[in-house]
């Protein structure tokens, strides 16, 4: 039986790191679905299209190709904000739904992380994790990450961004951020990457036994 692992959670909660480690450990392909929305936003900005243009956003999302996910600009802080804006557009989510489900349908399984994997994209996933952490800890992590890449910003500005994104992601009408009813919650506020991985691996192993 394929091993499909769905990981959801807010920005900088550690879900991406956890997803990559689980994928490597189990030999599964990994998709950071947030890159899809960042790629849509980047394509729109490069073309001078307003991020609020629903029709154009849907068109760009429909024409997205895998090669566009490799652009290093997708990791910039500004793209996270832009992605949060376009991710609330129903036309974008509808266009990317089949993209993500095709990726998840691999013979061996897959690991996908995002905001609505366990609730919308892969509701039948064998393993569902909801990874979270306090806004303050997430801001500290993101500040450290950006500083390591040479991006200048303040901890206060990042915390404000994270709180705004949390509100936007949780209150949108299209696939809001929330934990699936059968998801296992992992709070990483007091956990390092190794500890979080150990907790998640135990969850996966229990699921594989049944």
Annotated binding residue 61: no
Please give the mean pLDDT across all residues of the chain: 93
Annotated binding residue 17: yes
Annotated binding residue 15: yes
Q: Where are the domains of the chain?
A: 3-208
Please give the model's pTM, rounded to 2 decimal places: 0.92
Annotated binding residue 12: yes
Give the burial class of 97: count Cβ atoms within 10 A of its Cβ; 0-12 exposed, 13-18 middle, 19 or more buried.
middle
Superfamily of domain 3-208: P-loop containing nucleotide triphosphate hydrolases (3.40.50.300)
Annotated binding residue 128: no
Annotated binding residue 189: no
Give the burial class of 199: count Cβ atoms within 10 A of its Cβ; 0-12 exposed, 13-18 middle, 19 or more buried.
middle
- Average pLDDT, integer, range 126-133: 98
pLDDT of residue 175: 78
pLDDT digits (tens, 9 = 90+) for 136-145: 999 999 999 8
pLDDT digits (tens, 9 = 90+) for 167-188: 888 887 777 889 999 999 999 9
């Amino acid at each position: 039986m394929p091993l499909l692992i769905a990981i959801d959670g807010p920005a900088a909660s550690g879900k991406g790191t956890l997803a990559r480690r689980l994928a490597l450990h189990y030999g599964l392909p990994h998709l950071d679905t947030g890159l899809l929305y960042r790629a849509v936003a980047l394509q729109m900005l490069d073309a001078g299209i307003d991020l609020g243009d629903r029709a154009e956003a849907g068109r760009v999302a429909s024409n997205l190709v895998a090669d566009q996910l490799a652009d290093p600009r997708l990791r910039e802080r500004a793209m996270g904000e832009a992605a949060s804006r376009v991710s609330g557009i129903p036309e974008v989510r509808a266009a990317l739904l089949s993209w993500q489900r095709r990726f998840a349908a691999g013979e061996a399984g897959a690991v996908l992380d995002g905001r609505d994997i366990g609730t919308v994209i892969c509701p039948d996933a064998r393993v569902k994790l909801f990874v979270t952490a306090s806004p303050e800890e997430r801001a500290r992590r993101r500040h450290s990450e950006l500083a390591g890449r040479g991006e200048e910003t303040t901890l206060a500005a990042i915390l404000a961004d994270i709180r705004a994104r949390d509100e936007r992601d949780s209150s949108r009408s299209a696939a809001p951020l929330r934990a699936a009813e059968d998801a296992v919650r992992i709070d990483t506020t007091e956990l390092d990457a190794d500890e979080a991985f150990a907790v998640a691996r135990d969850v996966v192993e229990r699921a594989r036994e049944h």
